[in-house]
């Protein structure tokens, strides 16, 4: 049976960089969006409470119009390559729109090539056919059935071996959907087992988790 590892884009795959060239910590990206679009947040504490039109505008305008840029989360390109070598397909399920994600993944590869003096093409890192937007599909990460539907409709009968997220509640929903291991990606820290009530998951820096991944799945 074909195997898949699912990744959120923002956090696990890429990190945001503001106009001053500062890499934004994973936990601070919501604050960055509020700073760029303050009027959208006057009446909302929760980004996902915004109407869809505003969500699309933010997701696309942020990167398309260069309010922010993105760079690869250190280790992600190598991790994707290791997964494919082991017969596991990396798949992205993101809140961001397909248009925004395409630009973000382009910047990820450009950033990696510049730092490593390589000439990788985007398709060599991850294909856009394996990047899926819940916003474009009218779905939500809050519903485990939506996670399952995306995978089933695009890949048929497969085994999802793990999910990498930067939001704990979405990680819970995804692992519930697939019955797989969950990895919560944070800025710093070794790959350690944590527990939230009855939910057990791994937490750590992406690079550290990628180094231990094949030992724990």
Q: In terms of domains, do 107 and 129 share one?
A: yes
Q: In terms of domains, do 59 and 123 share one?
A: no
Closest by Cα among 162, 120, 164 to 10: 164
> What letters, b where the CB count within 10 A reaches 16 and e where it falls short, cover 113-128?
beeeeeeeeeeebbee
Q: In terms of domains, do 146 and 46 share one?
A: no
Give the integer Cα–Cα distance in Å for 188 and 130: 27
Domain of residue 163: give its range.
3-16+72-216
Q: In terms of domains, do 158 and 212 share one?
A: yes
Q: Give me the number of domains the chain comprises.
A: 2
Q: In terms of domains, do 79 and 44 share one?
A: no
Q: In terms of domains, do 183 and 90 share one?
A: yes
Q: Are strands 199-205 and 14-17 parallel, antiparallel or unpaired?
A: unpaired
Its pTM stands at 0.94
Q: In terms of domains, do 167 and 142 share one?
A: yes
Q: In terms of domains, do 91 and 59 share one?
A: no
Ordered per-residue pLDDT tens for the chain, 217 residues:
999 999 999 999 999 999 899 999 998 887 888 888 887 766 656 777 777 788 888 888 889 888 899 999 999 999 999 999 999 999 999 999 999 999 999 999 999 999 999 999 999 999 999 999 999 999 999 999 999 999 999 999 999 999 999 999 999 999 999 999 999 999 999 999 999 999 999 999 999 999 999 999 8
In the chain, DSSP assigns E strands to 3-7, 14-17, 69-72, 88-94, 131-133, 159-165, 181-186, 192-196, 199-205
Q: In terms of domains, do 178 and 119 share one?
A: yes
pLDDT at 52: 77
Q: In terms of domains, do 89 and 117 share one?
A: yes
Q: In terms of domains, do 31 and 123 share one?
A: no
Q: At what angle do helices 206-216 and 76-85 cross, to 10 degrees?
A: 20
At 82, which CATH number? Answer: 3.40.50.1000
Q: In terms of domains, do 83 and 131 share one?
A: yes
pLDDT at 142: 92
């Amino acid at each position: 049976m074909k195997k898949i590892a699912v990744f959120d884009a923002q956090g696990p795959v890429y990190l945001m960089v503001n106009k001053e060239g500062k890499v934004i910590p994973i936990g601070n990206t919501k604050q960055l969006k509020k700073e760029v679009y303050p009027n959208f947040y006057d009446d909302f504490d929760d980004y996902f409470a915004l109407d869809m039109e505003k969500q699309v505008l933010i997701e696309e305008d942020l990167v398309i119009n260069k309010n922010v840029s993105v760079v690869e989360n250190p280790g992600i390109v190598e991790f994707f390559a290791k997964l494919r070598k082991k017969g596991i397909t990396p798949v992205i399920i993101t809140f961001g729109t397909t248009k925004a994600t395409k630009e973000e993944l382009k910047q990820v590869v450009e950033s990696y090539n510049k730092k490593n003096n390589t000439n990788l093409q985007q398709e060599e890192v991850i294909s856009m056919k394996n990047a899926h937007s819940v916003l474009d599909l009218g779905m939500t990460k809050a519903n485990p059935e939506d996670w399952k539907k995306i995978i089933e409709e695009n890949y048929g009968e497969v085994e999802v071996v793990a999910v990498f997220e930067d939001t704990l509640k979405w990680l819970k929903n995804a692992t519930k959907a697939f019955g797989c291991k969950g990895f919560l990606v944070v800025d710093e820290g070794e790959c350690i087992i944590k527990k939230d009530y009855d939910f057990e998951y791994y937490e750590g820096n992406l690079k550290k988790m990628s180094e231990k991944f094949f030992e724990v799945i």
